[in-house]
Structure 1
Amino acid sequence: MAPGLPSAMDRPHFIGIGGAGMSGIAKILAQRGAKVAGSDAKESATAEALRALGVTVHIGHAAEHLADDASCVVVSSAIRKDNPELARAAELGIPVVHRSDALAALMDGLRPIAVAGTHGKTTTTSMLAVSLSELGLNPSYAIGGDLDAPGSNALHGEGEIFVAEADESDRSFHKYAPEVAIVLNVELDHHANYASMDEIYESFETFAGRIVPGGTLVINADHEGARELTRRVSGSVKTVTYGEAEDADVRVLAVRAQGLKSEVTVVMGGEGLIFTVSVPGRHYAHNAVAALAAGVALGVPADELAAALGAYTGVKRRLQLKGEAAGVQVIDSYAHHPTEMTADLEAMRAAAGESRILVVFQPHLFSRTQELGKEMGQSLALADASVVLDIYPAREDPIPGVTSELIIEAARAAGADVTPVRDKAEVPEVVAGMAKAGDLVLTMGAGDVTDLGPRILDRLAK
C-alpha cells in the first residue's frame, strides 16, 4: 500500500466513476496504489483513461458489479438511494463514503488549497495546477474538468501542495480543512439545496471557518456577495482580497485583450506585475489573479508564479476551441448560470472584433431554469443569434410549467434573435443555415450540448 493511502480506501468501489469529481478521486487513489473499481451509466473516454491506470470500470449499474471484498463504496450526491450497488453495499455491510470525505482523506497531511465560489472554480483550480507544476512543485490536484485529455482532471503529485475544487452545491466543501481557501464569488444557485442567500452565506462562513489556524482566505473584493462574506468573517480568519476595487490587497489595474489572450497588470505588496493569460476576458483574468494570490499565500514567489500562469492554455469546455470549418470557429462553453453566460459572451465579444457570435444554448436543471430563466434569456441577448434547446434534466425530475420557453420569452423581450429547437439532431443543420464565414459559434451549457460541436463542424465542412 502506497504511503498516504487511507487504509479504508485500499479497495474502493465508485458508483458513477465517470463523473468529473468521482473520476479524479479514483485516479489519485489508483496512482497511490489502491485497487480501484467502479461503475458508470455509459462508456466514455474517461472510463478508458481510468482503465489505463488499472481501474476496473463496469458499464451500467448492477449489484454484481460490487465485489464482496470492497473496502468502501464511494458515492456523490447525485447517486439515488435505490441504486442497486448501494443496496448491495448495505447487504454486505460495506461502508458508504461520500466523495467529499474521500477527497478530504486524500488531502490529509498535505498543504491544501481549496477553490470555492459560484463560478470559476474549475478554471482557477486548473490555473493553479498548471502553474505550480510548471514551477516544479509537483502538486496533487483534483479538478472538475479535464485540462487537455480525458483523465487529466487529477494527479497524485510528489509535492506537498494539494489543489482541489471545493463544491458548495451540496455543502460538501465543509469537509475540507485548507491552508488556503479561495472564494471567487458568492451567489444564489443550486436552488434545490439552498432556499435563500442567508443559507448560502452561512454555508460559505462554515467553509471559511474550516481554514486551518494560520491559514488564509483569498476572496474577491469586487463581488458584492464576496464582500458581504468578507464582512461576516472579518476578524475570524486572515483575508487577502483581490480585484479592481481600490481597497483590494492584490489590485487589478488593467486587463487588456490580446486576441484570445489577456495581459493583466496587478499591484501586490507595493510591487507591480504584468503577466499574460492564454484565455480571453476579465472573468478569466481575475481567476488568474486569485490563483496568484493563493500561491503567494503558500509562499510561492509572486514573480515566478505570475510568469508560470502563462503556461495555462485552458481547460475543456471553458471557451475551448473545438475547430474551424467553412471559416466558422466552433467554441465550447460550460456556462450555465447567467453570470457565467454573460462573462463568456462578453469575453468572446472582446476577442471577436466584428465577427458575429451565435450561441447554441442548453439550459441545465429545471430548478435553475425556474429561478433564473429570465436572467438566462437576458444573457443570450449579448449574442447576435441563439438556438435554445430543451432543458437538460441531469439529476432532477421535471417541474410543471418549467420549460425552455421561459428563457426564450425573456430573450426575445430583451431583443434577442432566438430559434427554439426541440430535437438536438436538427441543430447542425439549423446552425449551418445561420452561420457565415467569420462567425463564432458557441455551444453553451453544462449538459450534453458539448457533443454538438463536432457535428456542427462536420456539417459546416460539407
Structure 2
Amino acid sequence: MIVPPPPELVPAEKLGHVHFVGIGGAGLSGIARIMLARGMTVSGSDAKDSLTLTALRALGATCYVGHDADHLGTADTVVVSTAIKETNPEVVEARRRGLLLYSRAAALSAVMDGRRVAAVSGAHGKTTTSSMLAVALQHCGADPSFAIGGNFNDTGTNAHDGTGDIFVVEADESDRAFLQYSPEVAVVTNVDPDHLDMYASPEDYHQAFDIFVDCIVPGGFLVACVDDPGARRLAESARARGVDVRTYGESDDADVRIDNVVVRPLGSTFELVVHGRRQGTIDVHVAGRHHTWNAAAAYTAAIGLGFPSAELREGLSNYAGTRRRFEYKGAAAGVRVYDDYGHHPTEMLVNLRAARGAAGDGRVIVCFRPLRHTRTQFFYRELGEALGLADEVIVMDPTGDDPIPGVTGALILPHIPLPPERIVYERSWSAAPVRVAERVRPGDLVLTLGAPDVALIGPEVLELIGDRLESESEPDAAR
C-alpha cells in the first residue's frame, strides 16, 4: 500500500498516539523505537510474533499479533508499511475515523525533523554503509540518531534516538521513500535498477536518483561511488547542476581513493588517499572486498560533516557488522554456516565471492530463497547466473509478496551454470535444511541467502549436522 505524503508534515511529538500497521518490519520497528525513546504512546500490529515485537513491548509499546480494527484503540496517527494492503482492517478503520495516515517515509521524516540528515541510498550496500557511518560518528564522540534496515551485531538494535544533531538514515528507494527526505548529506553507493514492479523502467529508476539529489538542502553535498557506472553518471549530472559532489572509489579520479587493498577470508585492509594525500589505513572486519567501498563511503560522508580522519578510520576499523550481512551463524563437524540478505543478482555475486574467499579450500553450499515473486519474474536469468559461483545450490520458492502464476524457484534452475546433480529445487520448507545437511562435508561453507525467513534454516542445518556426527561416532554395538 502506497500512502501519499501529507500536505504538511507534523513533527513526531505532535502525532499523539501512533499505531503502526506492520510494526515488526525493519523500517517501522526502528521508527517505533525512536518514538518510544521520546516518550510517545506507541502501539502496533504484525502478522506474527517475533523477537522484534518482544523488544518493543519491553520498551513500552503495545503490540498485537494479527490485524483487527479494535487494535487502533485511541490512536491519533496510523503509520502503514508498504507491504500492507488497502483492505487491511486497521487501515479501513483508520480511514473511517479520519485518522492521520502516514507512510514509513513520512513517519521517518517526522522523527528526523530539526536534525542534520545523512541519508544513505543505492541499490546495494545501504544498510552496511549507514551502519558504518553511525559507528564512525559514535567513535568520534558524537551521539547520532539513526534508523537502519538491519540490527547491529553488537547491540542488536536498528535505531537509536541520539542526543546529537545528526540523524543517519538508510534511505530506501524501493517505494520511492527516499524522495521524501531533505538530507544535508546524500550518499549513493550505486545505481543498479531494481524494484521494477515500482519503477516503469531502468530509466525511471535512474531518474529517481536524480530527484533524490535535488532533495539535498542548500549547503549540503552528494557522496557517490565513481566505480559504479550509474553513480558516476549521477555525480557528473549533479556537478553539472551545481551540486557539491564528493566521490570515492578505486578509480584514479576519486576524491577519496581506495588504494593498496588486501583481502582476507573474513575482512580486508586498505589505504585512503584524499585528494592525493595518504590518510592511513582502515581494517574492515567483515568479509568481502565490497565493504571497502562501503567504508570509504561512510568515511567520505563523515569527513564532509567535519569529523577528524584518524578517529573515523579507527571507528570504522571497530565496526562489527549488522545482522544478515554475511552473518556468522555457527559451525558443526567442520562446516561453517553464514547468512546474508542478498537478494538482487549484483548483491548475490559479491556475497558469493566473499563466501568463496572465506571457504578457502572448502566448497560453498548455498540455500537461496528469492525475495519477491516480482523480482524473480524480472531477474530469474541473472539470479541463476549469480548462483553459478557456488558449488552446490538449493533453490526454494519466492516469498515476500503475492504469488504470480508460473513464477517459482523453478524458473531460476535452467540458468544456473552448474551440473544438474549439483542443483536442487526444494519447495518444502521443512525439507530444505535436510537437503542442505545431506550435501555438506567437513570444510564446506554454507550460505543461506535471500528472503528473511531463510535465515532460520542455518541453525537447523547445524543441528542436523551435529546429530549426524554424533550418530556416526557411536560404536557399532550401541547402534
Task: Verify same fold: TM over 0.5.
Answer: yes
Q: TM-score, normalised by structure 2?
A: 0.92
Amino acid at match of 1:41: A
Structure 1 residue aligned with 2:144: 139
Does structure 1 residue 377 correspond to structure 2 residue 384? yes
- Quote the Cα distance in structure 2 between the aligned partners of 1:451 and 1:100: 29
The Cα offsets for residues 399-441 of structure 1, whole Å up to 9 and x where unpaired, read as 2322212211100468893111111211222222111111100
- Unmatched 5+ residue regions in structure 2? 1-9, 468-479
- The correspondence for 1:254, drawn from 239, 256, 260, is 260
AA aligned to 2:303 is V
Task: Give the number of aligned pairs.
Answer: 456
* Partner in structure 2 of residue 280 of structure 1: 287
In 2: Cα distance, 1:453 partner to 1:58 partner: 28
Confirm or deny: 8 A CA contact 2:265 2:354 kept in the other structure: no
- Indicate if the aligned counterparts of 2:355 and 2:447 stay in contact, CA closer than 8 A: no
Residues 2-401 of structure 1: pairs in structure 2 closer than 5 A: 6-67=12-73, 69-148=74-153, 152-236=157-241, 237-272=243-278, 273-392=280-399, 394-395=400-401, 397-401=402-406
Deviates more, 1:257-266 or 1:294-303: 257-266
Cα 1:455–1:254, aligned 2, differ >3 Å: closer, same or farther? same
The answer to whether 1:432 aligns with 2:440 is no
Cα 1:171–1:222 shift into 2, 3 Å: same
> Secondary structure at the residue paired with 2:152?
coil
CA distance, structure 2, for counterparts of residue 414 and residue 102 of structure 1: 49
Which letter does structure 2 place at the counterpart of 1:302?
A: S
Of residues 445, 451, 454 in structure 1, which corresponds to 2:450? 445
Q: Residue 33 of structure 2 aligns to a residue in which SS?
A: helix
CA shift at 1:285, angstroms?
Answer: 1.4
Per-residue CA shift, 1:327-355, capped at 9, x if unaligned? 11110011000100000111122232212
CA distance in 2, matches of 1:92, 1:282: 52
- AA at the equivalent of 2:182: A
* One-letter amino acid matched to 1:246: D
Q: Which is further off, 261-270 or 218-227? A: 261-270
Separation (CA, whole Å) in 2 of partners of 1:74 and 1:149: 29
- Cα displacement (A) at 1:9: 2.1
Amino acid at match of 1:127: M
- Residue by residue over 1:12-55, the C-alpha shift from the partner in whole angstroms, topping out at 9 and shown as x without a partner, is 00000000000000000000110111111111000011011101
Partners of 1:132 and 1:138 within 8 A in 2: yes
- CA deviations on 1:200-247 (whole Å, 9 max, x unpaired) are 121111111011111110001011111122232223311111111111
Distance across 2 between alignment mates of 1:415 and 1:207: 44
Distance 1:102 1:283 in 2: 31
- Structure 1 portions without partners, runs of 5+: none
1:274-329 C-alpha deviation (Å, 9 max, x unpaired): 11011022211110110000001100112210111011111110000000111111
Q: Distance in 1 between matches of 2:289 and 2:96?
A: 52
Question: 2:154, 2:320 within 8 Å by CA — same for their partners in 1?
Answer: no
The Cα of 1:5 is off from its aligned counterpart by 6.1
Q: What is the rounded CA distance, in whole Å, between the counterparts of 1:105 and 1:178 in structure 2?
A: 13
Q: Is the partner of 1:425 in helix, strand or coil?
A: coil
Partners in 2 of 1:226 and 1:384 — Cα distance? 32
Q: CA RMSD for the aligned pairs? A: 1.6
Instruction: State yes or no: 1:421 paired with 2:426.
Output: yes
What one-letter code is carried by the residue in structure 1 that aligns with 2:14?
A
Quick one: which amino acid aligns to residue 401 of structure 1?
A: G
- SS of corresponding position for 1:368: helix
What TM-score does the superposition give when structure 1 sets the normalisation length? 0.96
- Matching residue's letter, 2:158: N
Cα offset, 1:270, TM superposition: 2.8
Matched letter for residue 340 of structure 1: E
Tell me: CA distance 1:150–1:451, structure 2 relative to 1, closer, same or farther (3 Å): farther
Q: Distance in 1 between matches of 2:193 and 2:50?
A: 32
Please say if residues 19 and 78 of structure 2, whose CA atoms lie closer than 8 Å, have aligned partners that are also in contact: yes
CA distance in 2, matches of 1:224, 1:334: 24
- State the distance in 2 between where 1:149 and 1:28 align: 19
Q: Which residue of 1 aligns with 2:472?
A: none
